[in-house]
Amino acid sequence: MVGRPVSAVCFWTNVSELYGRVGIEARYHTSRRMIPPIANDFVAGEEPATAIEHVTACNRDGVAGILNLLGEHYSQRPPADADTQAYIDLIADLAETGVAGCVSVKPSQIGLDVGVDVFEENLAAIVEAGQQHGRFVWIDMEDHTTTDVTLDAFEKHALGTDGGVGLCTQANLKRTREDIERLADLPGKIRFVKGAYDEPAEIAHKDKAAVDAAYRELLEYAFREFDDGIAVGSHDPAMIEYAADLHAEYGTDYEVQMLMGVREDAQRDLAADGVATYQYIPYGGKWLSYFYRRLRERKENALFALRAIVGR
């Protein structure tokens, strides 16, 4: 890269100032021109057809796709219902095209902030579509205030579909070890991530070393105790290597999941080595608000994103 290096602080400040000084529509279109690597490298376009094209390209390298329509924290029912229908249509499109891909939904996107009953109704409709078309449905985990209702929803649908759904768990939350003990005998898959939300210190590990240690402990427990698949949601080479060692020791099926735009060479290498590999692929028009919120949740994410953009 030629020219003056970009600092993470400068990057964070520029994005924050951009949000503060322009209107929603203007900042969307202006930002798309100003910071194209974010749109081009981390989000698979705005339309489902474009996202499916991206999954098709991933499939050629042996990598499957997990599609996520951008949107979250809706306080009114109409947008939650609209995104629910969009997921139902997307599942049908995935089945029709025959690509190796599934979907991942956020509880607050399909109505949790409107009401638990709305979330449960909309999730049930998406899971039913997944069953109808033979497509797996992941349930993302959001901040700690949503953990219990999300666990309950997963348990219900894991049993009701005999494992047609998956759940994300976060190693930074101190409660997660007890949670996965509850989940160990359920069908379905569990995705293990370190956690992106800036949670209170009384309920979450704040030190990186503590989070890493918790992540390793959770993986070891899961490979030892789980019968169904494990998803290692990490870009950390050490954790991916540790998962391979655990697989060799316990024989438990697993897959590796990484974000679009991050270590894609490693994704292709893992797939070529016979490791089930999935790319988590956001798409849709809300890409800027998605990226901005990820930065605000933890400033470490700004450094992570910056390395992904300029460290090529």
- Which residues are tagged catalytic? 140, 191
Measured CA distances, 16 to 13, 27, 164, 203, 302 (Å):
5, 11, 40, 28, 11
HSE-up (13 A, CA, CB side) for residue 133: 25
> Which residue from 99, 123, 155 is spatially nearest to 279, judged by alpha carbons?
99
Taking the C-alpha atoms of residue 39 and residue 196, their distance in angstroms, rounded to an integer, is 20
Measured CA distances, 205 to 48, 197, 237, 250, 294 (Å):
37, 11, 21, 28, 18
Are the beta carbons of 205 and 214 closer than 8 angstroms?
yes
- DSSP codes, 162-193: TS-EEEEEETTBTTHHHHHHHHTTSSSEEEEE
Q: Which two tokens stand for residue 256?
A: 């590796």
> Which residue from 59, 159, 71 is spatially nearest to 100, judged by alpha carbons?
59
DSSP state of 232: E
Taking the C-alpha atoms of residue 103 and residue 282, their distance in angstroms, rounded to an integer, is 10
Rounded to an integer, what is the distance from CA 96 to the centroid of its chain? Answer: 24
Are the beta carbons of 72 and 142 closer than 8 angstroms?
yes
